[in-house]
Amino acid sequence: NSVPVKMSRCACAAASLLLLPLLLIILALALPPSPCDTTLQIGKLSDGAGTRPGALSAHTVKGQSRRQQTSSAATAIWIQEPDDASPKKQQMGDTLAESTCKPPDRLRLVVGIITAPSHFDRRVWIRQKLRVSEAACRGVRVLFILGSRNHMTRSQQLAVRQEHQAHGDMLFVLARDYLPHAVAEKSLAWWLYADARLSADWFVKTDDDSLASLPRLEA
């Protein structure tokens, strides 16, 4: 009699192992969206004068799976791609209030700086040291690279949006912005984006914990 009992126990254990993944999937689908997990989707931004392709938003789109929707933020935030290469008035840290030069028609150098949403002070310091308005006059563009999939809080979303509106140098690429592979994913996504969307003689990747020498790179 002991043999059938052992077999039935084994059958129950096997059935439990098969049902466990299904229960986990059901539980994941039933969970409410987290307010701290923002998934920025590539979409189009309508500004009243038309539709601008390539903008980033946290809106869920048709065709997403429910699992993807649960990771989207409760509120949406629109963040446009960087503006054109013309110099902008710097309001949050650049040493030049406004540049009056005429930049060259073609960019010589585009520097992508891998950063994180919370590294605001580093970006302010880099803008000051690199004197990005003067660099723009020489055909050099500086962009700060962030991942479109991130864990920004609502206050961080607002701060990043205001920073981008002031400088126009924040670029979200299709990558995760949290450990363990944030830097590697953002770096790869930056190279892919630069190759596909930007026109310049040279491209550079660096990080916000170091300071590149623009004159040496230009040389």
pLDDT over threshold 80, residue 208: yes
Q: 214 pLDDT band (50/70/90 cuts)? A: very high
**Is the domain of 18 the same as that of 100?**
no
Q: For the purposes of burial, counting CB atoms within 10 Å of the CB of 113, is it exposed (0-12), middle (13-18) or buried (19 or more)?
A: buried
Per-residue confidence band for 36, with pLDDT thresholds at 50, 70 and 90: very low
Whether 24 and 109 share a structural domain:
no
- The answer on 128 and 201 residing in a single domain is yes
Question: Are residue 92 and residue 182 in the same domain, yes or no?
Answer: yes
Determine the pLDDT at residue 12.
60
Same domain (yes/no): 102, 202: yes
Tokens of 51: 């539709």
Residue 15 lies in a domain: yes
pTM for this model (two decimals): 0.59
Does 46 fall in a domain?
Answer: no
Confidence of residue 85 (pLDDT cuts 50, 70, 90): very low
Residue 103 has a pLDDT of 81
**Residue type at position 45:** L
Residues 121, 19, single domain; the answer is no
| Number of domains, the chain | 2
Same domain, 5 and 96: no
What 8-state DSSP symbol labels residue 114? E
More reliable by pLDDT, 86 or 204: 204
* Residue 117, domain extent: 83-218
What does the pLDDT average to over 70-87? 37
Per-residue pLDDT at 53 exceeds 80:
no
DSSP assignment, residue 80?
A: P
Residue 200 lies in a domain: yes
Average pLDDT over residues 166-174: 94
Report residue 18 as tokens.
């098969």
Structure letter (DSSP) for residue 95: S
